[in-house]
Structures are given as structure tokens and as C-alpha cells.
């Protein structure tokens, strides 16, 4: 198991993220790309300036011995019966080019479930095609199980969450598909993340270490379809039992990345606050992850 952190919120780009990881002695980073519009076929490529910058990122990564564990696309893959969003495909194409230059071997996506009865079949088809295309480029596909940014703080009346059997079905229908697992999302969905671990751990390659806070007062007043009754917190500030989870992962021989996330509304966006939050999270989980 290797320690990692999501550097996106720091806003310093991949180069700044690598330097921060080196400063904090964290051996890997992950980074997310917000939705962007790709106009025309040529624009899905990289300019000479972009390529040169990414080559410097690769050198910086190698010099500091910092791995880029995965690149995330914060743009949900729709799994209805319509053709795949063309801009999503172009985004993937461009991010894959970035990944290849900086020697990142994983691309992570979230799916957007619809109310169609055959959504799972559609998902298997679209994910399977995407996974095959990525594999041809030497990139593996991760399915993110955390809540997509566009759905956070929104009622379940407006979107659908996957259940563990859906994860298993997608892995069975798309051999080689791996999971980016979020124990925090299991908590708010009422899933026992420790009990289900043995049945899915072989398919997990990345852990998204969000923590979670649930307002029982709001939940009892509005029910699970009411808004704002759960929120992400920094690891150590919520309800996930990191000690038990990490020990279980070690027991099952997990060798992937354990990535600290800072999606906590109580953490300000200034660098000092973010670094303090990262340091506190490291105190909570790093000794458990690196302990022999």
C-alpha cells in the first residue's frame, strides 16, 4: 500500500503538486481535471508548449521520485441509451495524451446513472469500449465510487447512487476494470465497508480517503431524500474507522494507492489552511499506512 494525496484543490498544477508531495514526503499524487470544452478534432491534441511543459513535469516527477497515481476526469460518463457525449470522448483523448507523457498509468471516471431500466447494460457497453481504447494506449481504467462533484449537496431525488452489486456486475462485465473505492460513501449509503471488503478488494486499486460526517438531526427530520445531511470531511474528522480499514486492507494484501482527499467545506482554500489540513490528515492515517 502506498500513500498518496489528491493535490487538485491546492491549485498549483501538476508541477506544484509534485513539489508539495516531495516536501511532505508523500510518494504519489492524484489530480483531477474539471470539465472543459474541446472544439474540433485538432484541439484534442497537445500544443508544442503543452508538450514541453508536460515533459518538464515528467522530469520533475522522476527527479523527486513522486508517482502520478491517477488522473481524474470530473465529468460523468452518461450511461443512458444515447451515444456517448462527444466532448467527454475528446476530453478523455486529451487527458490520455497528458497521462502518457507524465507516465501516469491510470485514468479515473465517474458514471452518471439514469432511470432507464437497462442502464447497467449500457454502462457495461460504454465502459467496456472506453477501457479497451485506454488499454491500447497503456492506460488502465478506474471507476470512482465517490460522489461526483456535480451531485454533492444534492438530494437523491435528483441522481442515483450505485450499490455494491452494481460494482461487482460492472467488474464482471468489463474484465480489467478496477475500482477507486470510497469508504466514506459506503457510510452515508448505509453499507458496511469492512464487511463487503473481502468480496471486492481484488478489484480495488485506489482508495479515496474522504472522511464523512452525517447530521442525524437533519436525516431524522428530512429523511435520506432530503438535502445536506452528509458531507465529506478530512480523514480523522469523521466516522470512518481508518485503523480497522487499513488493517483489513493489509490483511487482504492490498498493494494500491491510499489517497488522502481534502474535500472538506470547513477547510479554507488558502495554502496555509490546505497544508494544515493535509498535515492533520497525515497524522491520522500515514502511520497506519506505512507501518509494517
Residues 52-111 have pLDDT tens digits of 999 999 999 999 999 999 999 998 888 877 776 788 888 899 999 999 999 999 999 999
Looking at residue 41, its pLDDT comes to 54
**Total Cβ atoms within 10 A of residue 248:** 17
Query: pLDDT tens for residues 272-282?
Result: 999 999 999 99
In terms of Cα–Cα distance, which of 187, 186, 190 is closest to 167? 186
Asked if residue 135 has pLDDT above 90, the reply is yes
Q: Which residue has the cell 489528491?
A: 6
What pTM, to 2 d.p., does this model score?
A: 0.93
Domain, as residue range, for 176: 2-290
d(C-alpha 154, C-alpha 218), whole Å:
14
Of 3-7, 13-17, 168-172, 220-224, the poorest mean pLDDT is in 220-224
Do you know the residue count of the chain? 292
CATH number for the domain that contains residue 56: 3.20.20.150
Cβ–Cβ < 8 Å for 20, 282: no
Q: Number of folded domains in the chain? A: 1
Dmax over CA atoms of the chain, in Å, equals 56
Mean pLDDT of the residues in the chain? 92
Amino acid at each position: 500500500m502506498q500513500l498518496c494525496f489528491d493535490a487538485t484543490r491546492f491549485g498549483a498544477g501538476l508541477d506544484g503538486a509534485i513539489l508539495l508531495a516531495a516536501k511532505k514526503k508523500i510518494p504519489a499524487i492524484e489530480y483531477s481535471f474539471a470539465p472543459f470544452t474541446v472544439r474540433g478534432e485538432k484541439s484534442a491534441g497537445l500544443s508544442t508548449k503543452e508538450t514541453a511543459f508536460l515533459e518538464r513535469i515528467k522530469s520533475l516527477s522522476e527527479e523527486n521520485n513522486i508517482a502520478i497515481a491517477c488522473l481524474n476526469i470530473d465529468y460523468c460518463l452518461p450511461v443512458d441509451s444515447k451515444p456517448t457525449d462527444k466532448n467527454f470522448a475528446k476530453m478523455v483523448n486529451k487527458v490520455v495524451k497528458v497521462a502518457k507523457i507524465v507516465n501516469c498509468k491510470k485514468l479515473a471516471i465517474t458514471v452518471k446513472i439514469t432511470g432507464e431500466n437497462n442502464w447497467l447494460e449500457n454502462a457495461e457497453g460504454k465502459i467496456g469500449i472506453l477501457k479497451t481504447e485506454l488499454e491500447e494506449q497503456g492506460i488502465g481504467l478506474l471507476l470512482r465510487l465517490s460522489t461526483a462533484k456535480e451531485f454533492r449537496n444534492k438530494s437523491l431525488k435528483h441522481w442515483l447512487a450505485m450499490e455494491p452489486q452494481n460494482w461487482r456486475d460492472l467488474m464482471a462485465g468489463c474484465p480489467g476494470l478496477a475500482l477507486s473505492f470510497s469508504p466514506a460513501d459506503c457510510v452515508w449509503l448505509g453499507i458496511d465497508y469492512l464487511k463487503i471488503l473481502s468480496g471486492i478488494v481484488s478489484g480495488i486499486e485506489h482508495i479515496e480517503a474522504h472522511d464523512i460526517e452525517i447530521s442525524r438531526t437533519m436525516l431524522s427530520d428530512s429523511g435520506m431524500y432530503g438535502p445536506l445531511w452528509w458531507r465529506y470531511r478530512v480523514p480523522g474528522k469523521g466516522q470512518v474507522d481508518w485503523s480497522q480499514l487499513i488493517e483489513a486492507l493489509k490483511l487482504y494484501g492490498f498493494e494500491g494507492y491510499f489517497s488522502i482527499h481534502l474535500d472538506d467545506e470547513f477547510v479554507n482554500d488558502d495554502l496555509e489552511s490546505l497544508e494544515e489540513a493535509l498535515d492533520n490528515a497525515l497524522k491520522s492515517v500515514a502511520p497506519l499506512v506505512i507501518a509494517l
